[in-house]
Amino acid sequence: MNTAELTKTARMLMAPGKGLLAMDESNPTCNRRFAALNIPQTPEMRRIYRELIVTTPGLGDSISGAILFDETIRQKISNGAPFADALHQAGIIPGIKVDLGTGELAGFPGEKITQGLDGLTERVREYSRMGARFAKWRAVLAIADGIPTPGGMDANAHALARYAAVCQDAGLVPIVEPEVLMDGNHSLEHCREVTEQVLRTVFHQLHAQRVRLEGLILKPNMVLAGANCSEQPDVDQVADATVTCLLRAVPAAVPGVAFLSGGQPAEPASARLNAMNVRWAPRMPWALTFSFSRAIQQPALEIWSGRAAKGNAARQALLHRARCNSAARQGRYSLDMERSVC
Ligand code: 13P
């Protein structure tokens, strides 16, 4: 393992003013989002949409790395360049989702386990040959009565740690993503407690599996009240609960934290990230940025809706969200930015 190389890549992913773009929706997830907009759910339409994203001029000014799905890393853009090469040319580091989705966790009703450890070494080596420099694995933890259990958290954290060790061995920086879902009516405080426990469990397993903290990125959820909770916190309350939780559970050796958006609308996601950086920057030992999928892509996807004539307008919307989140990563976002939309 080349720790210096891993550390360098992780730092480049956390470059000042930049964050990650998750464009690694699995085919079923991508198809679900296409179906909602009456976009044909074919490999070619998925390719065209992802080409629109990676060929957006100026995207590399706000985006340090983009996470691809297996189908996409094997596809090419119209000029014949593989997607990973097109990203490199745009100044964006290519990454790859390597988990194979979730299944039921046997013995733990209502809990899930992420699959994909079998054959992971070979898959990761192949992705590395294709140009990927980092990887992503998502564990999913729901909040419900008695859930998540210690057994469910242990199993998911162990899988995340084994994945991270395999990636580092192959020279890829692992993005470690334990997502506590926002579905439910739980309070902000309950989400903070669960997220803190999950993160403690993950870092315990990362240590046990000899993962180098300097060569990974953490991709957590923001601490939010459940989507159906009657008492919704304001932006500053979310910022304070989230950073307090991270400070208690994430070692300072980790170079960066890059949030998933988890179904938050685009503007609150930017505002919350901004508030964290405004209120806490001097006290945080890690870079704090974004690794959004929906909160960057959704407005552009809706504008495009499969229509070639809307390509440029969709690119403008994508760039706008990338710039808003770049500003939020620096504590410089404001609602005025939303009014000055192209
Ligand atoms: P969202 O930002 O849409 O939650 O997606 C991020 C991601 O990578 C989920 O695995």
The β-bridge partners of 138 are 177
Residue 342 clears pLDDT 60, i.e. is over it = no
- Among residues 51, 111, 177, 196, the one annotated as catalytic is 177
Q: What is the pLDDT of residue 74?
A: 98
Q: How do residues 136-162 score in pLDDT, each as one tens digit?
A: 999 999 999 999 999 999 999 999 999
Q: Name the token pair of 295.
A: 């909160």
| CB burial readout 296-305, b (16+ within 10 A) else e | bbbbbbebbe
Element (H, E) at 179: strand 173-180
- 262 pLDDT tier (thresholds 50, 70, 90): very high
Q: pLDDT tier at 87 (50, 70, 90 boundaries)?
A: very high
Residue 219 annotated in active site: yes
Beta 63-68 vs 19-22: how paired, if at all?
Answer: parallel
DSSP, res 82: B
Residue 275 confidence (pLDDT) above 60: yes
| Binding site membership of 261 for ligand 1 (Cβ less than 6 Å) | yes
Secondary structure of 214-237 in the HEC alphabet?
A: HHCEECCCCCCCCCCCCCCCCHHH
Lookup: tokens for 160: 């995340």
- Report the pLDDT averaged over residues 208-230: 98
Measured from the CB, is residue 138 less than 6 Å from ligand 1? Answer: yes
Q: Does domain 3-331 have CATH number 1.20.1440.230?
A: no
Looking at residue 182, what DSSP letter applies? -
Domain ranges of the chain: 3-331
Is 267 annotated as catalytic?
no
Is 178 a pocket residue for ligand 1 (Cβ < 6 Å)? no
Q: Is residue 260 within 6 Å of ligand 1 at its C-beta?
A: yes
**Crossing angle of the two packed helices 43-54 and 27-36, in degrees rounded to 10:** 90
Ligand 1 centre distance from Cα of residue 122 (Å): 25
Residues 318 and 302: their CA atoms lie apart, in Å, by 11
Decide: 257 and 14 in contact? Cβ < 8 Å.
no
